[in-house]
Structure 1
Amino acid sequence: MSKSPAQALLDKADKKATSSSGWFSSATSKFEEAGDLYQQAANAFKIEKAFKEAGDAFAREAECRENGKEQNEAANAWWNAAKAYKQGYPQLAVQALKQTVLHLTRAGRFRQAADREKEIGQIHILENNDLRQACESYERAGDWYAQEDAAATANACFKDAADLHADLEEYPQAIARYEQVANHSLGSNLTKYSVKEYYLRSGLCSLAMQNDTVSAKRNLAKYIDKDPSYASTREGKFVQALIEAVENGDTEAFTGIVFEFDQVVKLDNWKTGMLLKIKRALEDASNDVGIM
């Protein structure tokens, strides 16, 4: 049985990588040539839709580039490996992306490193359902974007991290991130409109902390002080009404307020989930009072 073109190229690359350098060639040129052959093999495997083998060949290319001190080429090879591994091998994709990030940060290319770190976060959510790792990746990416003056992209990452902190029931961390993004957004007329959304999410986190109306009221007052227009927004009035319903232990009023808001501004899955948590805690508190 004859070998596929990809396998033939891979064998040739392996032979070159393990050969001894001759009189007229250096170790550097040997690794460069082997790297080129591994890249050709990887692309041939992609044509055959053999993505695991393609990823492995790109990873071998990356190692050759590293041995040949071609750091930029090594970063690209690891990224190509990750793209191949994304076709069904998420754990390997994450490992390859981490190698890419390592090379990019060493080279001071933090904007590109942030792009790859954000990819890692997306894989953790979509493929691994690992909210903790995803949250850390988004925060790291956000920090690097901020360093590179990519403020809008940094804020998007911090907002995603805040949502994940809330999903993990780490409400103080979530609130701190929402406030960070809101404070930054207040400084520009282009982004000021989004502040009410961050304040709303923060308010829901406050109420989710064992229905902590004291923190929720304090934060609401702080937000109105920073942005007086928030008090008259639909979101500001919604949070105020929720606080009052929770304070009064009124589950029926709470349900009605949520229903009315949803008729005008469709609630997304995240807000719906948070409101259900608050409502369940409210119901449990009412039942405890009933038992006493």
Structure 2
Amino acid sequence: MPSKSPAQVLIEKADKKAASSSGWFSKDTSKFEEAGDLYQQAANSFKLEKLFKEAGDAFAREAECREKCNETNDAANAWWNAAKAYKRGFPDLAIQALSQTIVHYTKSGRFRQAADREKEIAQIYLQEQNDLRRACESYERAGDWYAQEDATATANACFKDAADLHADLEEYSVAIARYEQVADHSLGSALTKYSVKDYWLKALLCALAQQDTVTAKRNLQRYGALDNTFTSTREAKFIAALIAAVEEGDEEAYTGAVVEFDQVTKLDNWKTAILLKVKRGMGGISLT
């Protein structure tokens, strides 16, 4: 019979401790405190063995023991440790553990930490599960929490990520509103003002993806009024050329404008994808 690993021995001791009946004079919580410590040791031992599912399970058991002792901070920490272990190949369980962490943080008013964990959930939905809808919801929730904690730059980054996903989901009006929200916040700071032209470019591309040149032209003028340096940027001139090409149904002019812009400012995957959608709406198939 194979010998038990140190982690398994600790788990058995922890299970036994948690299930034991308390003596006449001892507090019930003390056995859960001791069991929690043993589960934590077991979890770390499993991590050494690279058994991440087992490590996550042990941290989750530790968290439950901490909850029985009303140790909110320790419980939140244990759930977060569980999530970090589960992230190694068990995304569903990682999301569950992070959600438990968030419950504890929001109850104790730690919204900044809750936002950090919600952002992690968004990244798991996006990178591991390709669930754009849920990723979008988590980015927006995180953004709201960051905003109420005055972490404006981090909130804007979340709202920008949400806007990108709304556009991927072809919810262009919502995406435009989000890009404009982030641009408005960024205009007020010398540090972030440089990025405004990119948010506006994305918002204008969303209008064109709806084949709505009227809104695109109106917004282009409005953005120029909000920041008079915008009209002379390459981004504004690029959009103006695209609007003209779309209105005239001139695919050659459209492709020419795209190629010319790309030669100086390399188009990323998001912009390339939306430019293809705009061109398909004109009746074209590809940008090449």
Shorter-chain TM-score bucket reads over 0.9
Q: How far apart, CA to CA, are the structure 2 residues paired with 1:161 and 1:46?
A: 34
Q: How far apart, CA to CA, are the structure 2 residues paired with 1:145 and 1:131?
A: 21
Hey, what does 2:221 align to over in structure 1? 221
Matches within 5 A, 1:100-139: 100-139=101-140
Query: Percent of counterpart pairs with the same letter?
Result: 75
Shift in Å at residue 24 of structure 1?
Answer: 3.5
TM-score by length of 1: 0.96
Q: How far apart, CA to CA, are the structure 2 residues paired with 1:105 and 1:240?
A: 46
Q: How far apart, CA to CA, are the structure 2 residues paired with 1:89 and 1:47?
A: 18
TM-score by length of 2: 0.97
Is the contact made by 2:251 and 2:284 (CA closer than 8 Å) also made in structure 1?
A: no
Q: Which amino acid aligns with 2:139?
A: Y
Matches within 5 A, 1:171-250: 171-209=172-210, 211-250=211-250
Shift in Å at residue 284 of structure 1?
Answer: 5.9
Q: How far apart, CA to CA, are the structure 2 residues paired with 1:46 and 1:194?
A: 42
Q: Note the aligned Cα RMSD (angstroms).
A: 1.0
Q: Check if 1:32 corresponds to 2:33.
A: yes
Q: Which amino acid aligns with 1:107?
A: S
Hey, what does 1:277 align to over in structure 2? 277
Is the contact made by 2:82 and 2:97 (CA closer than 8 Å) also made in structure 1?
A: yes
Shift in Å at residue 23 of structure 1?
Answer: 2.5
Q: How far apart, CA to CA, are the structure 2 residues paired with 1:138 and 1:240?
A: 31
Q: How many residues align?
A: 284
Hey, what does 2:252 align to over in structure 1? 252
Hey, what does 1:72 align to over in structure 2? 73
Residues 213-272 of structure 1, C-alpha deviation per residue, up to 9 Å, x if partnerless?
A: 011111111111111111000001111111010010001100000000000000000000
Q: How far apart, CA to CA, are the structure 2 residues paired with 1:190 and 1:8?
A: 55
Residues 111-135 of structure 1, C-alpha deviation per residue, up to 9 Å, x if partnerless?
A: 0100000000000011000000000
Q: How far apart, CA to CA, are the structure 2 residues paired with 1:103 and 1:66?
A: 10
Residues 142-169 of structure 1, C-alpha deviation per residue, up to 9 Å, x if partnerless?
A: 0111111110000000000000000000
Unmatched runs of 5 consecutive residues or more in structure 2: none
Q: Which amino acid aligns with 1:208?
A: A
Which segments of structure 1 move beyond 3 Å, counting only runs of 4 or more?
A: none
Hey, what does 1:62 align to over in structure 2? 63
Secondary structure of the residue aligned to 2:128 is helix
Q: How far apart, CA to CA, are the structure 1 residues paired with 2:221 and 2:23?
A: 76
